[in-house]
Structure 1
C-alpha cells in the first residue's frame, strides 16, 4: 500500500471508529440519566477505549511495558464490543422509530422511564460482554480439519504426503507465548511430513515477537521434510524484511516467488503476497512465470496467502493451492462479506484438476475473538498415483 493510499485508509478507519464510539457514548450517556454522577466516569472510559488500540500499537514500537500491553488488549477487545453493542443499539433505535408510529415503549417502561433506559443499557452491555467472552474462548480452541485428496501423479517411493498447514497466526502482543506454545504442541502432535505456513505468521511489527521471544517456540516445530512459509500482507505491514529474516532465523524457510523440489518427489512453490510490490517495488511473478522451472508431471503444491483469481491457477499443473487471509470474516456477520469478495472464503474447492483450500486461520487480527467460525489447523493427506 502506497503512502498516500495508507493515509486515506487510515483516515477512513479512524473516522469510522470515532463516529461509532461517539454514537455509543451518546447512547450510553442517555442510558445513565438515572445516575448522573456516573456519566463523567463513563465519558472518560469511552475516550480511553476509543483510542487505546491506536495508542497501544504506536507506543509498543518504542516501549513494551504492562501499561502499553494493557492498552493494546483493551483496544483489541473494544473492536468486538463496538460491533456487537452497535448492532444492538441500531435494533433498539429501529424499535424507537416504530414507537413513533405505534407507541408502546412508554407503556412497557412504566412511570420511571430513566430507570427503564438504564436497565435496557445494562442488558445491551451484558449481551455484548457474553458474546465477546464466548468469542474469546472460541478463539482459544482451534479445531483440526482433516482432508484427503487424490493426486493423479506418480511419485517413486512415496504413496502419500501428510501436510499440516496453518495460516494467519498473527504472532505478536495478542498471540503471545501461551498461544504460540499451543500451536507448536498441536502441530507437532499431528506428526506431519511437512509443515506449511500460508502467510501472516507475524502480526505487523516484529518488535513484540522479539521481546516475547516467540521465535523460541517456532524453532520447536518439527517435520522431517521441513517447515516452509509464504509471505502475507502482515509481514509487509510490519516492514517486510525484518519479519521475514526473523522467520528464517527460526527454522522457517520463506519462499518468495520461488520453488523447491523436496525429496526428489514434489515441488513446493511460495508466492510473494499481493501487497509485496507496493512495499518492495518488485513485480510479483505470475503463475506462468513461476511454472517454467517446475516439472508439472510431479506433484506441485502452491502457497499463496490471498485466495484471489483461482481460475488463473486451475489446470496449470498446480495440484494444490493453500491460502488463508480471509479469516472468513472472523466476527459474525462479516463472513457474509468475505463470501461475496472471495470465490472461496473458507474450506475446500476443486477447479478442474486443481484443489484449493482456504483456511480460516489459527490466530486473530484485532480482537482476540472469533464469533463467525473457529480457528483451525489443517491436515491434508495427499494420495499419489490415484486414478492410474
Structure 2
C-alpha cells in the first residue's frame, strides 16, 4: 500500500511538473518566435525539456562511467529552477493583463511582444541580483549573554556556518572564501550546523574539498553535525570518517567538551525516519552534564525550542531554512517554523537560525543572503 501511495504521489508530481514546464515553454516559444520565426519546434522542445528536467536527470544514480556526463545538466537545471519560480510568479499576471486587453479590444499582440521583453529583462536582473546575494557573504554578529549561574573563564568567539551544500554547484572557490572569512575572525570555536554536503559525497571527494575544510582553525576546535542532505546522500559513515581524518568530529547524538562549554550535537530530524536507531531526545542527551557549564546545542532543523529551553540549553544553533532562499518562499518558512532566521530569546534559551552559507538548487538568493555568524559568548562571571 505504501509503495502504491508513493507511486501515485510521484506520478502526480511528474504530471504537475510537466504541465508547469509546458506552460513556461509555450510562453518562451512565443518570445523566440518574434526573433526567429522559423525556429524548428522539435529542436526547441528537445532543448527546453532537457534543460527543464536537467536537475532531476542529474539526481538519478547513473553508472559511474556516464555520471560525469550529467554534471552540466545539474548546473543548467539548477538555474532553471530559479527561472521556473520567477516565471510562475509573473507569467500568470502577464496573461491576466493580456486577457483584459483582448476583452477591451486593445492591441493585445503588441502588448504580448512588449511584455515578453520586459519579463526577459526582469529575469536577467533577478538572476544577477540573486547571484550576488548567493556568492557575496555577510557576517552577522550576535552578542550572547548567558544568564544565571553558568560560568566561563573568558568570553568566547564562536564562528558558525550552516548549509554549505558542497557539491557540483557550490565548490572549492566558495569554500575557500568561507575558510578565509572564518579564520580572519580568529575564533575560539567553529561550529558547522549541518548540510555540509549537498547530498552526494562524490564531488566532495573528487574535488578534495576536505583539504580546504581542514584549513579551518579555531583555538578550541571545529565541530559539525549532520543535516538532512547528508542523510539523502546515504554516505554518512564515509563522510564522518573523512571529517574525522581532518580533525572535525561530526557529533551524532553526542556531547563534546571544549573551552569550558558543552557542545551537544543532535542527529538531524531526518534520522527519525531514515536512521533505524532514530535520534535521542534533548533530555536524554543532557543527562549527567554539569549544569554550571554553558550548553550549546546544534540541531540542524529549527524545531523543539520549548524542549531545549525546558532542559536548560543556553544556546541553540540551527540552519536548514535558507530563509526560503528565493522570495517569496520566506513567507512560507516564516509560517512553518517558530523562527526561520535570525535571533529569538525563549526564557533562558538563546536561539540563532542561520540562512546558510551555500545554496540548494540554483545559486540564487532573493530576500536572503549567504551568511556566516559571529557569536560573542559571555556569562555573568566573564563579562
TM-score (norm 2): 0.91
8 Å CA contact 2:155, 2:382 repeated in 1: no
Aligned to 1:244: 240
Alignment pair present for 1:334 and 2:329? yes
1:249/1:224 CA distance change after superposition, 3 Å = same
1:249/1:7 CA distance change after superposition, 3 Å = farther
8 Å CA contact 2:151, 2:293 repeated in 1: no
CA separation in 2, counterparts of 1:315 and 1:54?
42
Cα offset, 1:32, TM superposition: 4.4
Aligned to 1:323: 318
Deviation per CA, 1:169-196: give whole Å up to 9, x if none.
0011111110111111111111110000
Trace 1:90-129 onto structure 2 (pairs within 5 A): 90-99=92-101, 101-104=103-106, 106=107, 113=109, 117-129=112-124
Aligned to 1:254: 250
CA separation in 2, counterparts of 1:27 and 1:334?
24
1:8/1:145 CA distance change after superposition, 3 Å = farther
Q: Equivalent residue of 2:81, what SS?
A: helix
CA separation in 1, counterparts of 2:7 and 2:198?
20
Alignment pair present for 1:69 and 2:71? yes
Aligned to 2:50: 48
Structure 2, unpaired ranges of 5+: none
8 Å CA contact 2:94, 2:115 repeated in 1: no
1:330/1:12 CA distance change after superposition, 3 Å = farther
2:288 to 267, 285, 293: 293
Q: Equivalent residue of 1:175, what SS?
A: coil
Q: Equivalent residue of 1:203, what SS?
A: coil
8 Å CA contact 1:162, 1:381 repeated in 2: yes
Structure 1, unpaired ranges of 5+: none
8 Å CA contact 2:251, 2:264 repeated in 1: yes
8 Å CA contact 1:159, 1:385 repeated in 2: no
1:9/1:188 CA distance change after superposition, 3 Å = farther
Aligned to 2:59: 57
Trace 1:1-388 onto structure 2 (pairs within 5 A): 11=11, 13-34=13-34, 35-40=36-41, 41-58=43-60, 62-63=64-65, 67-99=69-101, 101-104=103-106, 106=107, 113=109, 117-152=112-147, 158-239=153-234, 240-263=236-259, 265-385=260-380
Cα offset, 1:386, TM superposition: 5.5
Cα RMSD for the two superposed structures: 2.4
What is the number of residues matched between the two proteins?
Answer: 379
Q: Equivalent residue of 1:339, what SS?
A: helix
Which of 273-282 and 354-363 deviates more? Answer: 273-282
Cα offset, 1:129, TM superposition: 2.0
8 Å CA contact 1:32, 1:39 repeated in 2: no
